[in-house]
Amino acid sequence: MDDYSRNTLMQYINPKPKDIEICDVTLRDGEQTPGVVFTREEKIAIAEKLDSIGIEVIEAGFPVVSKTEEDIVREIAHLGLDARVCCLARSVAKDIDVALRCDVDFVSVFIATSDLHLKYKYHKTFEEAESCALDVLDYAKDHGLTVRFAAEDATRTDVNVLKSIFRAAEEHGADYVSIADTVGILNPSTAHYLVSEIKNTVKTKVCIHCHNDLGMAVANTVSGAEAGAFQLHTTVNGIGERCGNASLEELLVSLRVQYGIERYDVSQLSELSKMVEQYSGIPIPRIKPIVGCNAFAHESGIHVAAVLENPMTYELYAPEMVGCKREIIIGKHTGSKALKGVVQKMGYDLSRDQMCTLLDRVKKCSEAKRKVTCERLTEFIRELE
């Protein structure tokens, strides 16, 4: 990592996230994106790529959904990956039985804890829901499972109530407690506060699972990590219900650039992103950070001229770091110096008058909303000769 990429303000942040692991939930929460279904082959390919990047935990699915889903989760659990494999379970004993048949490394047992969910989804009191969840937690532990105890809609739950159920989960042997920001209501300040409060309440490892309804899922996850969250949840391309989850590629590169956490092979992110784009049918926005096609594209004349001399002037990190390539766009905002650099790289040596004529043609073409491709630029140059 080039020193220019380091955020010099990071030296004033204390503590920095250090002791963390990533749990990618693309195969479960990502597949809950409306209209998205991954085939067996697609799920295996995604799991293997996540593993090769170095992701520590892969949530392979929700096996009680169907026999096919159960079979796929079991197959992923038996792939021999370095990553640990987990699955989701409701606070229902039969879900634990299915998880046991899948032979996963651990299970994530969830229960909604907010008054809103208790009243309108469960039609139960908090005490009834808690009793049910703890019974299932006991059942899972009695059968030798590692358990992540997740509070759904935790961020709209009274903090003291959340502390109480996490303390109870710890007493019943939970290996992790998980804060689920189910509707994406957190901001970085509240994420930091909430994780800090839970960290001060239990000794169990804390997880944070953020949704992106306000566009802050990655920022909230990073803030939670700074406060001491151990397990950080992500999906590839940020897919997921409604507005999606914290984006894996954005989180990994943020951890690398801002905190020097370099144990993940981010050079494979572009390939993984394109894979999930194809399998999910959800196009990657052009301006998507890290993997969008505009992430390393430059058109503005002043910018291009500087980038041709030193890319770090307008790039936080090299595109090759994440498996991408730089693109110089010729268009309305292109200046003479930038255009000359592009033309020379194409192998042409034009006079000053020819360059002026070419620049004029490029701007007119662009203003007519016609893309100036390399082929079109070559055509313009040949017409000057």
Question: What's the pLDDT at 62?
Answer: 98
Provide the pLDDT for residue 367. 86
Whichever domain contains 241, its CATH number is 3.20.20.70
Asked if residue 291 is part of any domain, the answer here is no
Q: What is the SS3 assignment for 239?
A: coil
pLDDT of residue 291: 98
99: which 2 tokens?
């998880």
What does the pLDDT average to over 190-206?
A: 98
263 lies in the same domain as 363: no
On whether residue 80 sits in a domain, the answer given is yes
Residue 144 domain flag = yes
In a domain, 124, yes or no: yes
SS3 call for 10: helix
Q: Could you tell me the pTM of the whole model?
A: 0.92
The verdict on residue 307 lying in a domain is yes
5 has a pLDDT exceeding 60? no
pLDDT at site 3: 56
What's the mean pLDDT when you consider all of the chain? 93
**What is the pLDDT confidence band of residue 28, given thresholds at 50, 70 and 90?**
very high
Q: How confident is the model at residue 4 (pLDDT cuts 50, 70, 90)?
A: low
Kindly state the percentage of the chain with pLDDT values over 90: 76
pLDDT tens-digit readout, 284-293: 999 999 999 9
How confident is the model over 249-265, as a mean pLDDT?
96
Q: In the beta sheet, which residues pair with residue 247?
A: 235
Given a cut of 70, whether residue 2 has pLDDT beyond it is no
Residue 324 domain flag: yes
Residue 299's pLDDT is 77
Query: Do 62 and 93 sit in the same domain of this protein?
Result: yes
Say whether both 256 and 362 belong to one domain. no
Closest CA to 63 of 28, 14, 16: 28
Residue 350 sits in the same domain as residue 211: no
Quick one: 275 and 316 in the same domain?
no
Is the domain of 272 the same as that of 312? Answer: no
What is the model's pLDDT at position 330? 78
Q: What is the mean pLDDT of residues 40-51?
A: 98
Using one digit for the tens of pLDDT, what is the confidence trace for 323-342?
A: 999 987 777 878 787 788 78
Find the radius of gyration of the CA atoms of the chain. 25
Give the β-pairing of 21-24 and 57-59. parallel
pLDDT mean over 110-118: 98
Phi and psi at residue 334, to the nearest 5°: -75, 135
Check pLDDT > 70 for residue 7: no
Q: Give 110's strand partners.
A: 90, 150
Check pLDDT > 70 for residue 301: no
The fraction of the chain above a pLDDT of 70, given in percent, is: 96
Residue 210 has pLDDT above 70, yes or no: yes
The count of domains in the chain is 2
Q: Is-contact 324 296, C-beta < 8 A? A: yes
Across the range 310-332, mean pLDDT stands at: 90
Q: Residue 157 has what DSSP assignment?
A: S
DSSP symbols for 324-343: ---EEPBSTT--HHHHHHHH
Is 325 in the same domain as 366? yes
Q: Across residues 24-28, what is the average pLDDT?
A: 98
pLDDT digits (tens, 9 = 90+) for 127-165: 999 999 999 999 999 999 999 999 999 999 999 999 999
